[in-house]
Structure 1
Amino acid sequence: MAAFRFGFGRLNFHLLKRRSFLLLKLIAFVCSVLLFCEFLIYYLVILRCNWPEVKTPAHGGEQETLEPVLKAMFLADTHLLGELRGHWLDKLRRMNRYRIKRFEKVFNPERLFSWKGINFVMVNSVALEGDGCDICSEAEAELMDISHKLNCSREGQEQRPGQCGEGPQLPASAPVLLQHFPLYRRSDANCSGDDAAPPEEKGIPFKERYDVLSREASQKLLWWLRPRLILSGHTHSGCEVLHGAGVPELSVPSFSWRNRNNPSFIMGSLTPTEYALAKCYLPLEDTVLTTYCAAAGFLVVLMLVHLGLVTSPVLFGYKLLRKFKTV
């Protein structure tokens, strides 16, 4: 009787040991999948990205003194707060003074700022509707003041005595314009690339003051600011167009899987006179979902094998090979 109990206890211990070992394997596998899909895969994909090199003009076969290079990343439409709170609900969620003050208190944005001799102008696109909104006239007056400062930086204090004030002037560099809404264009019909709009959406005409800025507002920005580069978002797709006398505008695709299967961001190397841009993609959402599905299927098969409902593929192959040798 004692021997029977001892044998039964050893059997229970063996079963418990097997189950514990299986549980440890499952936990290790799940943790490995999570680590890969939520962390490592981003590094593996982003390792292919590099900062673009700015071409330096040369004279007499020798390069000029290198200007300081500013390296910056540009993201658009992250939609971090989800489908309702993070999405632009047409005019219902239009910015008012309270939301603007709250945004400025948290992020402390400046409409005009300079880094390493490079001027940036950040425009509140919502204030350029031209419909007499509460913040439109204030925004236009601010843009006119920015235009005056930029003109002074281009022409210099000597050519405009008394008109530019005595304070420090901005660097003599055409600005980079940053805004949410793109300047006016008919559609995305001429856009191309892996992150361009789908073919069925390219030919859909854009609505002024909804998909893009109005023609009037777009022309004002080009006249007042005379930018050398424009970076915008809102369309969730990539596109590059030329405005006026060849001013390039790059629509930055959405940095969110909610809007794209292949989110991306822009890596830029800028100097006061030149710039170079490169696109860096995140992992495809389909790749991550496929990895999770394959892992889940493997776990199901592993559990069925452990419960004896399905023969182990290794054991099945061994038996099949042994049977073949016997025959």
Structure 2
Amino acid sequence: MLKFSGSSVVAALLIALLFGAFFFCEYLIYFPTILKCAWPKLSRARGGEGTGGRPADAAVRAMVLSDTHLLGAVGGHWFDKLRREWQMERAFQTALWLLKPEIVFILGDIFDEGKWSSQKHWEDDVRRFHRMFRHSSDTELVVLVGNHDIGFHYEMDWFKLQRFEKVFNASSTRIVTKRGVNFLLVNSVALHGDSCPICQSVEKDLIKLSRDLNCSLQKSQSDGDETENCEGSQYPPTAPIMLQHYPLYRVSDASCTGQDAAPPEERHLLFREKYDVLSKEASQRLLQWFKPRLILSGHTHSGCEVLHDNKYPEISVPSFSWRNRNNPSFILASLSPGDHSLSKCFLPEESTVIGVYCSAGAGVLLLLLAHCLWMKGLLQLSLCLLGKHKSL
């Protein structure tokens, strides 16, 4: 018959406690948190039918996240890199498995050092990105460009832009259409309005896309009659959902509220045009050209809801990285050609994970202390009995 000593039992308890804390914090914690999230429902009265006679609840399910900032070889500490990438990978893979989005958008700043990384380091960053954000063929992944991917306006060049576009197999300014829903992807880094070659090329593409979308709307309103200069139009006749890295112009985050808003001490800091937000001119041009029914942006690392000109809602999506926030989150969007509904899915807080590890550490120390006191008591009892035995 096997006999277990007190030390063996304590060792087994210590291993179980440490393994349990590690397994919970590094794997299990994402499941109950993401299970609380759900796809928002569309109003049938407003949403009506989708394309092909689909009911409103057959809407496109889109997951939107931003600012992953995969650390590079220059400024990223190996442990920080390992920790943050594991967290994002587990959160993303768990969300895919539980929520099953049809399309995922990442709103720029995929990499932290794309603006200066060498080709070797770039290839390593890309390899790690594809591993972390792997997905099945049932899910489409669409990536937008940010200033950390190709540099700010004064740093970007054709080499870095084309390197980014080649990796993600698409131009940085385009329209993606999904079951009658138009997603307008904007390279907002190039919207300085000056004569830089990339800026001119992006603006030319945007003007063409605006003309094509407006032609589609005009055709639908004229009962299919041919509209002048609209022969090449091919998009569904619905206002687009505009996605970009930089937010449209706003003075500050002073009006932003919610648990993912910027800290109170930062909300009143004034934003710099063409650095923190787009310029007033670029913002107005985009609104006039496209009249989007919804704008989704990143860059600030904090959440915010803004209504431009009293009719164009914009949602700033917080950073997906725990390096930038204690409480990362992403957007769940249910979308039809005539309606949209959004909800926010918060991920486990870093402070909760640290608290669990600290509690487990305290439990280990208490267990060791109790064992030591118990062993000390046994030793004193043994010495006492031995002394009595000798005195007899």
TM-score interval (norm. to shorter): 0.7 to 0.9
Distance 1:267 1:71 in 2: 7
- SS of 2:254's partner is coil
Q: 1:47-91, CA deviations, whole angstroms, 9 ceiling, x for partnerless residues?
A: 1111100001179xxx76624400111001122326656166674
Aligned partner (choices 152, 164, 173) of residue 103 of structure 1: 164
**Shift in Å, 1:26:** 2.7
8 Å CA contact 1:305, 1:311 repeated in 2: no
Q: 1:172-229, CA deviations, whole angstroms, 9 ceiling, x for partnerless residues?
A: 1100000010000111111111111111111111100010000111111111121110
- SS of 1:73's partner is strand
Q: 1:223-269, CA deviations, whole angstroms, 9 ceiling, x for partnerless residues?
A: 11211100001111111111125100000111121111111111000
8 Å CA contact 1:94, 1:126 repeated in 2: no
Aligned partner (choices 74, 86, 96) of residue 64 of structure 2: 74
Whether 2:196 is the aligned partner of 1:133: answer: yes
8 Å CA contact 2:181, 2:336 repeated in 1: yes
Code of the residue aligned with 1:209 in structure 2: it is K
The aligned residue for residue 180 of structure 2 is 117
259 and 58 in structure 1: CA distance in 2 versus 1, 3 angstrom threshold: closer
Kindly tell me the number of residue pairs found equivalent between the two proteins. Answer: 295
Code of the residue aligned with 2:250 in structure 1: it is R
Aligned partner (choices 258, 264, 278) of residue 329 of structure 2: 264
TM-score scaled by length of structure 2: 0.69
The aligned residue for residue 6 of structure 1 is none
Distance 1:245 1:178 in 2: 19
Code of the residue aligned with 1:56 in structure 2: it is R
**Shift in Å, 1:152:** 1.5
- SS of 1:138's partner is helix
Distance 1:265 1:304 in 2: 43
290 and 219 in structure 1: CA distance in 2 versus 1, 3 angstrom threshold: same
Whether 2:208 is the aligned partner of 1:145: answer: yes
The aligned residue for residue 320 of structure 2 is 255
Distance 1:24 1:113 in 2: 55
Alignment of 1:142-221 (within 5 A): 142-156=205-219, 158-161=224-227, 163-165=229-231, 169-221=234-286
Distance 1:212 1:192 in 2: 18
Whether 2:15 is the aligned partner of 1:56: answer: no
Whether 2:355 is the aligned partner of 1:278: answer: no
Whether 2:361 is the aligned partner of 1:296: answer: yes
**Shift in Å, 1:35:** 1.1
Q: 1:88-125, CA deviations, whole angstroms, 9 ceiling, x for partnerless residues?
A: 66749843222222222222235211001000111111
5+ residue gaps, structure 1, are 1-12, 313-327
**Shift in Å, 1:38:** 1.2
Code of the residue aligned with 2:14 in structure 1: it is L
TM-score scaled by length of structure 1: 0.82
The aligned residue for residue 144 of structure 2 is none
The aligned residue for residue 112 of structure 2 is 86
121 and 309 in structure 1: CA distance in 2 versus 1, 3 angstrom threshold: same
Code of the residue aligned with 1:138 in structure 2: it is S
Distance 1:251 1:294 in 2: 35
The aligned residue for residue 88 of structure 2 is none
The share of aligned pairs that are identical, in percent, is 49
Q: 1:278-316, CA deviations, whole angstroms, 9 ceiling, x for partnerless residues?
A: 01101111111010111112222323333448879xxxx
Question: Based on CA coordinates, which of the two structures has the bigger radius of gyration?
Answer: 1
5+ residue gaps, structure 2, are 77-110, 114-146, 378-392
8 Å CA contact 2:215, 2:227 repeated in 1: no
311 and 208 in structure 1: CA distance in 2 versus 1, 3 angstrom threshold: farther
8 Å CA contact 1:52, 1:268 repeated in 2: yes
8 Å CA contact 2:21, 2:357 repeated in 1: yes
124 and 113 in structure 1: CA distance in 2 versus 1, 3 angstrom threshold: same
| Farther-moved stretch of structure 1 (208-217 vs 132-141) | 132-141
8 Å CA contact 2:153, 2:190 repeated in 1: no
The aligned residue for residue 37 of structure 1 is 25
The aligned residue for residue 143 of structure 2 is none
Code of the residue aligned with 1:108 in structure 2: it is N
8 Å CA contact 1:267, 1:280 repeated in 2: yes
8 Å CA contact 1:152, 1:160 repeated in 2: no
**Shift in Å, 1:160:** 4.4
RMSD: 2.8
Code of the residue aligned with 1:263 in structure 2: it is P
